[in-house]
Amino acid sequence: MIEIGIDSFAAKPSKLGISDSQAMSELIERIEVADKAGLHVFGMGEHYRKEFLDSASSMILAVAAARTKQIILSSAVTVLSAADPVLP
């Protein structure tokens, strides 16, 4: 079986004239639409640069999980240096 999905890096809308909060709301809405459209997977990236809104991708996916029914929500990029419990 082929599974079809999409991913996002949650880039900040610097030139679109919308707030970070509005951009995040629209991202959650896109995940909901992907679920309703029958896509199988939505992957969320993780970035710590100021150009992105997804430094806490697991929290974004948690919000999406409360609003979706079938779609698999997954990490698409994990920054190992930030997730490694051995590093100070």
Report how many domains make up the chain: 1
Cα gap 32→26, rounded to integer Å:
10
Residue 20 lies in a domain: yes
pLDDT for residue 73: 96
pLDDT for residue 88: 55
Residue 6 lies in a domain: no
pTM over cut 0.75: yes
How far out from the chain centre does Cα 86 lie? 26
10 Å Cβ neighbour count for 75?
14
Residue 2 lies in a domain: no
Residue 29 lies in a domain: yes
**Enclosing domain of residue 28:** 15-70
Residue 34 lies in a domain: yes
Give residue-wise pLDDT tens across range 22-51. 889 999 999 999 999 999 999 998 888 888
Residues facing residue 41 across a β-bridge: 5, 72
Strands (E), the chain: 5-8, 41-44, 72-75
